[in-house]
């Protein structure tokens, strides 16, 4: 609702693809939540698999997904 008008309606899957700026600014206010939204969008569109083994990804012996910064 904004100024008494319903601006958006949908479910928890549809909200990820919302183009409503006020809704996105409110729901995805933190950088963490914006990143989570981006990841979910990539999963839902098939650009990355949504079936990942997080234990394997976070294993210390596994190669890093992002190279360390060079200073």
pLDDT over 70 (residue 62): no
pLDDT over 60 (residue 38): yes
What is the mean predicted confidence (pLDDT) over 6-30?
92
The whole model's pTM is what?
0.61
Q: Which residues contact 39 (CB under 8 A, 6 or more apart)?
A: 48
What is the mean predicted confidence (pLDDT) over 47-52?
80
For residue 70, the model assigns a pLDDT of: 66
For residue 63, the model assigns a pLDDT of: 66
């Amino acid at each position: 609702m904004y100024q008494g008008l319903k601006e958006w309606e949908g479910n928890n899957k549809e909200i990820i693809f919302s183009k409503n700026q006020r809704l996105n600014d409110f729901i995805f206010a933190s950088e963490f939540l914006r990143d989570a939204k981006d990841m979910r969008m990539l999963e839902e569109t098939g650009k990355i698999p949504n079936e990942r083994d997080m234990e394997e990804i976070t294993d210390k012996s596994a190669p890093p997904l992002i190279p360390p910064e060079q200073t």
